[in-house]
Amino acid sequence: MPSAEDGWAFETRQIRAGYKADPGWGANVPPIAQSAAFVYPSGEDAAARFMLDAPGHTYTRVNNPSAAALERRIADLEGGVGALALASGQAATTLAVLGVARAGDHVVSSASLYGATYTLFASTLRDLGIAFTFVQDPTDLDEWRAAVRPETRAFFGESIPNPRGDVLDFAGVAGVAHEAGVPLIVDNTIATPYLVRPIEHGADIVVHSATKYLAGHGSAVAGLIVDGGTFDWAAHAGKYPQLTSAEHSGFAGTDFAEKFGRRAFIQRTRSKLAADLGPAIAPFTAFLVLQGSRRCRCGWTGTCRTRRRWRRGWTPTTRCSACTTRDCRPRRGTTCSSATCRGARPRCWRSTSTAAPRPGGGSSRPWSCSTTCRTSATSGRWSCTRRRRRTCR
């Protein structure tokens, strides 16, 4: 099946990675494996699968063919060694943090976070005994450094934080995390692997709310954890006994770092945390996210277009001067095409305000306009050109 390792382009992998037409029917699209459990060839084989000594599916709370196809695809697009699909983005963040931090441990997080992630950290996980320090200015690497404690077990940030949009300095923050001997976890929901792959810039673990742009159609709630396989757990064995000792792993005397090497984190998160806590993705949901990921490049390009407009101060209610139609915004260099105001003078579509609120929240910068609006001598219609700089009305 096409993979990054074999040199296939991103656009091919978003359609093909993670799934090879099944040998039975030759189905081109991953089928929905709507089954709770699976048939084992023998009792010995079942025991070996449950003890992680043999490959094969066991039970849909832990693994499932539809979920596995989605996991392989997103791991491939993000450049990770493995992934775990879950019931929601919140489940992915929760399990990613619980995979590295236990009661008494501490996590340093950017304060620029999706609201529910903030409350997850500041109340629910805190109540379970994990302490958090929130870095108020995530661009200040010294603030990250100063927050580190002996019991720190991870750094956390969002690539393009929801809603503030202040992009994380992956390499800088990963550098400080690695100096402190801990992994960097990045929520890449808003950027998607089409725009940025945090693992390529130093992140060790990536989480997603697949509900948003990975699925792209708004028909499913889902999440994923991707393991970059980059963090050397064994080199920091004292901090991560759950991953590096048979005694503390909580799973049948398994030393995950020894047995699974670079895949230790994702394998334990699946076999121990997903199995114990139960936030499994439904096979049908995995299918829906896979369907969305096939068209993600177009969807994600559309997202970029929208975000570029936001940066320019566009608001969905902008309208031209004479128009009563909502959002009749004429494109630069064209006249307004709305039937109710055709030919009327187009209003500059950059914001006139020095502090216009952006959709989705966050602050905006003052804009001045470089668009000049003129009327045509022949048609009498107005058009906009970018001739000279002037202030917006």
Ligand X SMILES: Cc1ncc(COP(=O)(O)O)c(C=O)c1O
Q: Which residues bind ligand X (CB under 6 A)?
A: 88-90, 114, 116-117, 158, 162, 187, 189-190, 209, 211-212, 221, 223
CB of 54 to ligand X, least distance (A): 33
The smaller minimum CB distance to ligand X, of residues 66 and 117, is found at 117
d(CA 91, CA 106): 19
Query: How far apart are alpha carbons 7 and 263 in whole angstroms?
Result: 22
Of 63 and 117, which has the nearer Cβ to ligand X? 117
Closer CB to ligand X, 130 or 243, in the complex:
130
Q: Report, in Å, the least distance between residue 222 CB and ligand X.
A: 6
Least gap, CB of 167 to ligand X (angstroms): 13
Strand partners, 133: 108
Cβ 61 to ligand X, closest distance in Å?
18
Nearer to ligand X, 88 or 133 (CB): 88
H or E element at residue 109: strand 106-110
CA 97 – CA 95 distance, rounded (Å): 5
Nearest to 266 by CA among 120, 78, 2: 78
Measured from the CB of residue 4, what is the shortest distance to ligand X in angstroms? 24
369, two tokens: 């306009």
Count of CA atoms in the C-beta half-sphere (13 A) of 119 = 3
Axis crossing angle, helix 65-78 with helix 283-294, rounded to the nearest 10: 40
Query: Inter-axis angle of helices 283-294 and 296-311, to 10 degrees?
Result: 70
Q: Of the two residues 190 and 225, which places its CB atom closer to ligand X in the complex?
A: 190
- Strand, helix or coil for residue 126: helix
Say whether 253 sits in a helix, a strand or coil. coil
Cβ at position 93, least distance to ligand X in Å: 6
Quote the least distance from Cβ 212 to ligand X, whole Å.
6
For ligand X, give the closer residue by CB, 71 or 158: 158
Cβ closer to ligand X: 211 or 338? 211
Measuring CA to CA, how many Å separate 38 from each of 14, 33, 211, 272?
A: 28, 10, 27, 19
The Cα 333–Cα 141 span in angstroms is 43
Nearer to ligand X, 14 or 162 (CB): 162
Start-end of H helices in the chain:
10-16, 43-50, 65-78, 89-100, 115-119, 126-127, 141-147, 170-179, 192-195, 241-244, 256-260, 264-268, 275-277, 283-294, 296-311
Q: Which residue has the CB atom at the shortest distance from ligand X?
A: 89
Shorter beta-carbon distance to ligand X: residue 104 or 302: 302
Minimum CB separation from ligand X for residue 234, in Å?
30
CB of 117 to ligand X, least distance (A): 6
Angle at 33 between CA 31 and CA 36, to 5 degrees: 175
